[in-house]
Amino acid sequence: MHIYRHTVLLFYFIIEERILQEANVKYRNNIQKAIAITNGFLVKITGLSVYIRDEG
């Protein structure tokens, strides 16, 4: 019974790790898209102030 319980736990952790990896890839891709959109948006908004700061 003891060995059986450890085997079940081992399989559970392997499956859980795989699910987390897949979720992490999807999450990371979404975060990268969000960062790219946010950066583009911030450049449009702060473009003028960036140029002013560069001249100063």
6-55 pLDDT, tens digit each: 788 888 888 888 888 888 888 888 888 888 777 777 666 666 554 545 55
Q: Is residue 24 part of a domain?
A: yes
Residue 45 is predicted with a pLDDT of: 64
Print the domain residue range for 7.
2-46
Q: Is residue 28 part of a domain?
A: yes
Q: Is residue 55 part of a domain?
A: no
H helices then E strands: how many in the chain?
Answer: 1, 0
Q: Is residue 56 part of a domain?
A: no
Q: Is residue 51 part of a domain?
A: no
- Which residues are CB-contacts of 43 (< 8 A; sequence separation ≥ 6)? 50
Number of domains in the chain: 1
Q: Is residue 52 part of a domain?
A: no
What does pTM read for this prediction?
Answer: 0.41
Q: Is residue 54 part of a domain?
A: no
* Residue among 22, 41, 43 at smallest CA distance from 33: 41
Would you put residue 3 in left (φ > 0), alpha (ψ -120 to 50) or beta? Answer: alpha
